[in-house]
A and B are shown apart, each in its own frame.
Chain A
């Protein structure tokens, strides 16, 4: 009973401070402008995925500080409420409710893990709270049903897998065998399913020599590497990330596996700084988007450089893709709120009006423009290239980069990824833009 009372008191208190939030969803008329813009952000602050979550939080802190110094968004300062995804989805669901009901957040950024997004998105429907999916990659979100309050401000699994596949088919069309070594969880399994569907359609007859899914968070791949050395596949695919990818690359490189097979690493970008010169050259690498440090033609080079330089100055490392995805979500939020406020003639939007502003929204990232489609999915270009070293960076970057337009590699609205990938024809390779040296 005490708990219930204190919970209610907390809710009322939060509502009072942030301006009638409890009833905001149902009121289309006068909406009091809040004293601060409250943003709930779910990210990994613990566990292996904190290699993404902590840099992303750092990027958010840096950008919010800049925004607040410049007067905030729509004239009000931004305040972030961070929630750790580490303890799992059951915990996160409770935390999402707490953010909305107790903290009175106006918008939620969720999440890194696909499982987290799959858990939070239905809550956005239920609580009618605009939720920007800022990093998760599962294709299921918008393919399995509409979510009127959810919008993904970056690409997702299908383009992130299809772009490297197309690149490989163009770069090494003669390959006849492949092996996969992915982490044993949703992304590892799903990304292989997507790859296989596309590969079977575009190059039938490729022999799959091994499907290896080592335990999530493995620290040793010696046995898998031995097996791959013995099998000698032409290509090895790994969508692994974080410490596991670093370990796999180091152990495989030490044992000369990179000399026997061509690796395709769609999520390599985030690990390249840790690898330094240990990353072998001439292998296919991706970035879950287009935000490579040597992007050949960013849309706003000055803005891109400013973000990278400021982040480096503050944290002593280059921003990795989750930092850029966080920056994209913040840019989308700024554009969405500006649009909603303008649509209301300068008034503050309610939850429904805010969500309406995001549908079809186009916003600028430092590297390109991203449009949120009618189903809520963002269209983010993908850049894939071959690992190489330049004088400018102490770690590998891509050369011979292909900028895949998002629409070319994303499943059309209303279709599901696997059947769409199975329906692809080799002619899609003719649409591929020419590589840029980099």
Chain B
């Protein structure tokens, strides 16, 4: 065992660095999905589309700002502004026009409606941005690379993935936990999540809370997409794979769990990275193996709580 670690320890160390950036992006999307489910009780398949549209919007805005001759640093502003625009515009639109009509309906219907929405938004992306890959990596280039020691060698990592992505994810986690526990609005959201009927009986406007929560969740998905956009090329289909992975994270964590989503994202992100080093053929299935293993032992997820049946 000791010999194995001395031989592979450095490689595992590298895998941990990769896994952290990977986990950060998954978390940004999964936490929004989880938050929305907690309040709306709807598994929103179209959440992946918000990720994709956030990414496309950030890239387009970044390219537009660059075409005006503005410095590359404005690319960072483009990420945040695009996420806020997508969340602020599409979030209320979707909640008011579509989701509000299916609250309390059968889960199958809810899934079908959000899936239909997902398909429509996929086509909208193609209509607006076409099918050819779109690139806007100015923010990543601006931060440059960091040489990480590896024995007598060094391995270049981008500072964007090594520091910025995990940093933003950590700030989101801490900020969200503070918001939900320390602010009145946050506590209202928690109240609706815990017991919607009781919260309404106390005078809370549940309709307003659902609108706010969905908009916030949509903005988180869009921010995830915006943050991912400088690291990848944007093509049709990026929303689909994101939502599948996010479901794995949410199911592993337990629906409605914020910190749980962070830990599950970390488990899945690190699991995938380590698999690439030790058994690459399993990289694809690692997230789902982790999910199945957790659900076999705890069907409600790692941090989920069993709901008592209400009469």
Chain A residue at minimal CB-CB distance from B131 = A50
Chain A residues whose CB sits within 8 angstroms of the CB of B25 once the complex forms? 220
CA distance A48 to B273 in the complex (A): 24
The answer to the question of B140 belonging to the interface, with a C-beta cut-off of 8 Å to chain A, is yes
Smallest CB separation, B225 vs chain A (Å): 10
Interface residues in A245-260 by Cβ distance below 8 A to B read 246-247, 250-251, 254-256
A211 to B132, CA, bound (A): 28
- B103-115 Cβ-contact flags toward A at 8 Å (1 or 0): 0000000000000
Smallest Cβ-Cβ distance to B232: which chain A residue: A219
A234 at the interface (CB under 8 A from B): no
How many interface residues does A have (CB within 8 Å)? 42
Measured in the bound complex, the distance between the Cα atoms of B155 and A227 in whole Å is 9
A50-B126, A54-B131, A246-B233 known; A222 vs B283 contact (CB < 8 Å): no
Q: Measured between alpha carbons, how far is A48 from B132 in the docked complex, in Å?
A: 9
| Cβ of B276 to closest chain A Cβ, rounded Å | 4
**B11 touches A (CB below 8 Å):** yes
Residues of A close to B141: CB separation below 8 A: 254
A96 to B88, CA, bound (A): 44
Query: A114 vs B126: C-alpha distance in the bound complex, in angstroms?
Result: 24
Separation of A243 and B55 alpha carbons in the complex (Å) = 14
A200 within 8 A of B: no
A-B pairs with lowest CB-CB distance, top 6: A243-B235, A223-B18, A246-B233, A243-B133, A50-B131, A223-B276
CA distance A223 to B21 in the complex (A): 10
A213-B281, A274-B135 are contacts. A230–B153 as well, Cβ < 8 Å? yes
| A438: Cβ under 8 A from any B Cβ | no
Q: Is the CB of A215 within 8 A of B283?
A: yes
Q: Inside 8 A of A36's CB, which chain B residues have their CB?
A: none
Closest to B140 in A: A254
Does B76 interact with chain A (Cβ within 8 Å)?
no
Interface check A317, CB cutoff 8 A: yes
When the two chains form their complex, are residues B157 and A217 in contact, meaning their CB atoms are under 8 A apart?
A: no
CA distance A240 to B145 in the complex (A): 25
- In the complex, the answer to whether A255 meets B158 with C-beta atoms within 8 Å is yes
Q: Name which residue of chain A comes closest to B235, CB basis.
A: A243
Complex: how many Å from CA A317 to CA B131? Answer: 13
Q: Kindly list chain A residues whose C-beta atoms are within 8 Å of the C-beta of B280.
A: 210-213
B272 at the A interface (CB under 8 A): yes
Q: Return the CB mask of A118-152 against B: 1 if under 8 Å, else 0.
A: 00000000000000000000000000000000000
Given A215-B283, A219-B241, A220-B231: A226 touches B157 (CB 8 Å cut-off)? yes
Select the residue from B130, B150, B155, B236 with max chain A CB neighbours within 10 A.
Answer: B236
Please name the residue on chain B nearest to A251 by beta carbon. Answer: B231
CB-CB < 8 A to A232: which residues of B? Answer: 153
- B210 within 8 Å of A (CB atoms): no
**In contact, A224 and B132 (Cβ under 8 angstroms):** no
Q: Is the CB of B233 within 8 A of A222?
A: no
Within 8 A of A (CB), among B117-169: 122, 126, 130-135, 137, 140-141, 145, 150, 153, 155-158, 161
B17 at the interface (CB under 8 A from A): yes
Indicate if A12 sits at the interface (CB-CB under 8 A). no
CA distance A219 to B273 in the complex (A): 14
Asked if B233 contacts A230 (CB within 8 A), the reply is no
Do B158 and A247 have beta carbons less than 8 Å apart? no
* B233 and A220 within 8 A (CB): no
A55 and B153 CA atoms in complex are apart in Å by 44
**In the assembled complex, A229 has its CB within 8 A of some CB on chain B:** yes
Count B-side interface residues using an 8 Å CB cutoff.
46
* Contacts from A to B (Cβ < 8 Å): 46-48, 50-51, 53-55, 184, 210-215, 217-220, 222-224, 226-227, 229-230, 232, 242-243, 246-247, 250-251, 254-256, 271, 273-275, 278, 317
- In the complex the two chains form, what is the Cα distance from A417 to B23 in whole Å? 42
- Compute how far the CA of A334 lies from the CA of B273 in the bound complex, rounded to whole angstroms: 52
**What is the minimal beta-carbon distance from B197 to any residue of chain A, in angstroms?**
41
**Cβ of B262 to closest chain A Cβ, rounded Å:** 19
Q: Does B22 contact A (CB under 8 A)?
A: yes
Q: Are A223 and B22 in contact (CB under 8 A)?
A: yes
Q: Which listed residue, A47, A223, A247, touches B232 by the CB 8 Å rule?
A: A247
Interface assignment of B238: CB less than 8 Å from any CB of chain A: yes
Distance of B50 from chain A, by nearest CB (Å)? 16
Least CB separation from A52: chain B residue: B131
Given contacts A211-B280, A226-B18, contact A242 B135 (CB under 8 A): no
Report if B179 contacts A (CB, 8 A). no
19 contacts between A and B (CB under 8 A): A47-B236, A50-B236, A54-B130, A210-B280, A214-B283, A218-B241, A219-B232, A222-B161, A223-B272, A226-B15, A227-B277, A229-B155, A230-B14, A247-B232, A254-B158, A255-B156, A256-B156, A271-B133, A274-B233
User: Does B237 sit at the interface, judged by CB under 8 A?
Assistant: yes
Between B18, B19, B140, B150, the greatest number of chain A beta carbons within 10 A of the residue's beta carbon is seen for: B18
Docked CA distance A210–B280 (Å): 9
Best-buried of B15, B22, B134, B233 by chain A (most CB within 10 Å): B233
Residues on A with C-beta less than 8 A from B130 are 54
CB distance from B38 to the nearest CB of A (A): 27
Known: A226-B157, A256-B145. A217 touches B241 (CB 8 A): yes
Task: Give the docked Cα–Cα distance between A215 and B281 (Å).
Answer: 9
Cβ–Cβ contact A255 & B157, under 8 A: yes
CB–CB A224/B276 < 8 A = yes
For B140, the chain A residues whose CB sits under 8 A away are 254
- Other A-B contacts than A243-B232, A273-B132, 9 sampled, CB-CB below 8 A, are A46-B236, A55-B132, A210-B280, A215-B241, A219-B228, A223-B273, A226-B15, A246-B233, A256-B156
Contacts of A220 in B (CB 8 A): 22, 25, 228, 231-232
**What's the Cα separation between A58 and B119 when bound, in Å?**
23
Contact B158–A246 (Cβ < 8 Å): no
